[in-house]
Amino acid sequence: MPLAPLPDEDVEFALARRRWCTPVVAELTLEVIEQRIDFDAGQYVLLQDTGRAVSMQSYSVANAPREDGTLTFLVTAVPGGPTSTWLTKGAQPGDRVLVSGPYGSFVADPAHHGPTLYLVGGSGLAPAKALVEAAVARGETAHPDAGSRHTLLFSGRTPEHLIDHETFTALAAQQPGFDYVRTLTRVDGSDVEPPRGRIPEVLPSLLPDLSEHAVYIAGAPGLVDASTKAAQQLGARAGRVHTEEFYAQPTPWSSGSGT
Ligand SMILES: Cc1cc2nc3c(=O)[nH]c(=O)nc-3n(C[C@H](O)[C@H](O)[C@H](O)COP(=O)(O)OP(=O)(O)OC[C@H]3O[C@@H](n4cnc5c(N)ncnc54)[C@H](O)[C@@H]3O)c2cc1C
């Protein structure tokens, strides 16, 4: 098995572009200045400004490794969050960004030869997008083989919260071994095409038997927790469920917890 890439620290990249994908998620493209970062699809890096005015935070690389070393990210603008606000609103094209990494084990398992399922919401799409891109590049989605399909289930609140919907729809049309399904959680009315509802509600009718699947789940803690339970109830084996939780849920203050 090839060795995982070793992390580098504080490598300077240049912000090339920023594009809003949804009202709250921006895609950032960072270009190599001198040194590149080697990583495996699905891993994350730490980002910070060169003046270290904001704290270093983790972001999953949203692309598979590229020839030119470009890194893309899907960053949720967290209200009052210093680093995400800097990345989504403060930093300007041409600005330098410090990149450290790679880190993490949310990567393809070379020993797995069965189907693969990605369960993601919001910017949790980032590592799944990288893993899908790598699977397509390896030719794994070129054949309509039920035993090795890749399925991406994206959960968004409303149609405007979908990220790269047209791109994934087109990819599914081109790649016979890739399926893309979106579910919407905050829409009412039958004029919205199904599926509607959260991942645990939608999954049983989409894929009722996950006993042969590798399952990759990424995003907010609530989504990761609920999707993990749902996958296990459908037979996903513990060793084949990979999770990437993006942040710790703040503990609600209660009168019982104070002094
Ligand atoms: C392994 C890993 C990979 C990650 N990858 C990504 C990624 O690809 N894209 C991305 O946007 N974020 C990602 N994150 C989250 C990211 O590291 C930061 O936590 C986030 O950007 C907030 O940082 P901040 O400095 O802006 O705000 P902070 O001051 O650190 O956070 C403020 C509060 O907001 C909450 N919060 C943090 N992130 C979110 C969020 N996304 N949505 C809603 N509330 C949030 C937390 O409860 C926190 O207490 C990842 C985290 C980890 C651990």
Domain of residue 30, CATH code: 2.40.30.10
- The verdict on 122 and 234 lying in the same domain is yes
- What distance in Å separates the CA atoms of residue 153 and residue 54, rounded to the nearest whole number? 33
Atom of ligand 1 nearest to the CA of 54: 25
Contact 117, 210 (CB under 8 A): yes
pLDDT value of residue 210: 98
Contact 39, 61 (CB under 8 A): yes
Which of 168-182, 188-202, 212-226 is predicted least confidently?
188-202
Q: Establish if 143 belongs to a structural domain.
A: yes
Domain boundary among 103, 138, 158: 103
Domain boundary among 46, 72, 103: 103
Q: Establish if 259 belongs to a structural domain.
A: no
State which residues form the domain around 225: 116-245
Q: Which token pair is 1?
A: 């098995």
pTM of the entire structure? Answer: 0.95
- The verdict on 173 and 146 lying in the same domain is yes
Half-sphere exposure of 203 (CA within 13 A, CB side): 28
Q: Which token pair is 205?
A: 């009718």
Contact 204, 231 (CB under 8 A): no
pLDDT digits (tens, 9 = 90+) for 80-111: 999 999 999 999 999 999 999 999 999 999 99
Atom of ligand 1 nearest to the CA of 85: 26
pLDDT value of residue 2: 66
Domain boundary among 74, 103, 132: 103
Contact 27, 21 (CB under 8 A): yes
Q: Establish if 254 belongs to a structural domain.
A: no
* CB neighbourhood size of 89 (10 A): 11
Q: List, in sequence order, the alpha helices (H) in the chain.
A: 82-85, 125-137, 165-174, 199-206, 221-233
Question: Which of 247, 249, 251 to probe ligand 1 with, by most ligand atoms within 8 A of CB?
Answer: 247
Contact 140, 109 (CB under 8 A): no
- What distance in Å separates the CA atoms of residue 245 and residue 177, rounded to the nearest whole number? 27
Question: What's the CA-to-centroid distance between 155 and ligand 1, angstroms?
Answer: 18
Q: Ligand 1: residues whose CB is within 6 Å?
A: 44, 57-60, 73-76, 78, 81-85, 104, 123, 126, 220, 244, 246-247, 250
- Ligand 1 atom 26 nearest Cα: 81
Q: In Å, how far are 12, 27, 175, 220 from 125, measured between CA atoms?
A: 25, 11, 19, 11
Q: Establish if 258 belongs to a structural domain.
A: no
- The verdict on 134 and 71 lying in the same domain is no
Question: What's the CA-to-centroid distance between 129 and ligand 1, angstroms?
Answer: 18
- Ligand 1 atom 17 nearest Cα: 58
